[in-house]
Amino acid sequence: MGLPEALTRKLVALGITEPTPIQTRAIPHALDGDDVMGLAQTGTGKTLAFGLPLVAGLMANPERPAPKSVRSLILAPTRELAGQIRDALMPLVKDSAIRINLVVGGTSISAQVNRMDRGCDILVATPGRLLDLIDRRALRLDTASFLVLDEADQMLDLGFIHALRRIAGLLPAERQTMLFSATMPKQMEEIASSYLKNPRRVQVSPPGKAADKVTQEVHFIAKAAKADLLIELLDKHRDELALVFGRTKHGADKLAQRLEQAGYAVATIHGNKSQGQRDRALRSFRDGHSKVLVATDVAARGLDIPDVKHVYNFELPNVPDNYVHRIGRTARAGRDGAAIAFCAPDEMGELKDIQKVLGMTIPVASGTPWEVMPGQKAKPAGRGGPRRSGGGGKPGGAKTGAGGYGGAGGYGAGNHGSAKPGQAKPGAAARSRRRTRQAA
């Protein structure tokens, strides 16, 4: 694909020999100096799709950065994703003069200020902490010739639209930009027009499409019975890693306590956890010391743990696109995975919005769909609670596509299937996005 031999040797040493579809389509355009808009799910190798041409460009122009300046900037929505991007790029710059700095919240800002004194070649940052350092005059962006916005849709979901507008005004007009997103909300057009010039559009799956090789199913169940069902399902796979998503910090902590009482080693991450606590929780989960990780949507992006076999949507997300990001934590690197959703009566509206984004009806594992009147959430039928007929079909769902090589940040993960995406209900994501601030 035109990569320098030095980079090719490093890839071979890392055991990376075959590019993923997003890498095959994006890297040649990036090496030609074009702006790129990439539409791809997590786990498809996006990190190297922008990381390889970025490092190749820096190698071709080995000038040293000026104090407090950056030669290239990578923006990510969460600390976890930013850290994993930095970690994925480090082997590519090993034994070179290229310096990578990480600037994220939850850690000492004074240490980050000191590290920026010498400047850096690659700065990986979250928008909020980046602006904190700019306000302290600790760094400047006017020398950044290469910009990456990774998981741009999640940055919008987390309310970074104003930060992104401000950052755009601090960057030089002459630069190369790569933007990656799994979904295409309406605001993305504004961001794309602000950051990109005549971009090459590359796409390996329709926006909003669920991750390949994920078996999906939904259980229609009363809210009070969810914890017991979760424990029952977890008991069937005690030796496998499971990720459980809830909506709120308090709810995540409460559920973790319930699972610990049931004998599970549980790790928890959400917005109230310090960076150190989040790092320890992720390390415990990744190493297998904790078999269950309970998280809010703060963890839906940036988790690259190939061995996660099951993702449980204990509570359905308010933002339909977040469902896609949640279940993208399993079936990574060509592996199989299962996404299990629990739907209470008051979550039928969320389920309908999710299915419209997916363009499919999620197979029913147990229970029957709660009745929903037009324009309102589902409510129990009768004074005795909601009525359900029968126990539903056996668990299982349609699998999509075939797998490929590698994983997120590597040359791999599965090729994407061709399921036709649905059209989200107008205003559904925008309406529900207003409620997401409480979730993480």
The first and second tokens of residue 295, run together, are: 């998280």
Give me the pLDDT at residue 183, please: 77
Is the pLDDT score of 99 beyond 50? yes
Calculate mean pLDDT across residues 202-215. Answer: 68
Give me the pLDDT at residue 418, please: 35
Contact call for residues 312 and 243 (beta carbons, < 8 A): yes
Q: pLDDT, tens digit, for every residue of 264-323?
A: 999 999 888 887 888 899 889 988 999 999 999 876 566 777 788 999 999 999 988 889
Give me the pLDDT at residue 207, please: 53
Contact call for residues 210 and 399 (beta carbons, < 8 A): no
Give me the pLDDT at residue 187, please: 77
Is the pLDDT score of 412 beyond 90? no
C-alpha count within 13 angstroms, C-beta hemisphere, residue 352: 18
Contact call for residues 76 and 150 (beta carbons, < 8 A): yes
If one compares 93 and 278, the residue with the highest pLDDT of the two is 93
**Quick one: pLDDT band at residue 420, thresholds 50, 70, 90?**
very low
Calculate mean pLDDT across residues 359-371. Answer: 90
Q: How far apart are CA 271 and CA 249, in angstroms?
A: 7
Contact call for residues 40 and 121 (beta carbons, < 8 A): no
Is the pLDDT score of 227 beyond 50? yes
For the chain, what is the mean pLDDT? Answer: 82
Is the pLDDT score of 131 beyond 70? yes
User: Exposed, middle or buried by CB within 10 Å (0-12, 13-18, 19+), for 2?
Assistant: exposed
Is the pLDDT score of 405 beyond 70? no
Give me the pLDDT at residue 182, please: 79
If one compares 289 and 416, the residue with the highest pLDDT of the two is 289
* CATH code for the domain defined by 5-203: 3.40.50.300
Contact call for residues 342 and 227 (beta carbons, < 8 A): no
Give me the pLDDT at residue 97, please: 93
Residues 6+ apart with CB under 8 A from 127: 75, 77, 155, 160, 163, 164, 167
The pairing of beta strand 364-366 with beta strand 308-313:
unpaired
Judged by average pLDDT, the poorest of 15-29, 32-46, 76-90 is 32-46
Q: How far apart are CA 183 and CA 404, in angstroms?
A: 22
Is the pLDDT score of 119 beyond 80? yes
The string of DSSP codes covering 33-69 is: T--EEEE--TTSSHHHHHHHHHHHHHHHS-PPPPTTB
* CATH code for the domain defined by 214-427: 3.40.50.300
Q: How far apart are CA 301 and CA 322, in angstroms?
A: 9
Residue ranges, comma separated, of all CATH 3.40.50.300 domains in the chain are: 5-203, 214-427
Is the pLDDT score of 372 beyond 90? no
Give me the pLDDT at residue 273, please: 84
Identity at 226, one-letter amino acid code: K
Q: pLDDT, tens digit, for every residue of 381-403?
A: 333 333 333 333 333 343 333 33
Give me the pLDDT at residue 302, please: 63
Give me the pLDDT at residue 153, please: 86
Is the pLDDT score of 341 beyond 90? yes
Q: How far apart are CA 313 and CA 294, in angstroms?
A: 10
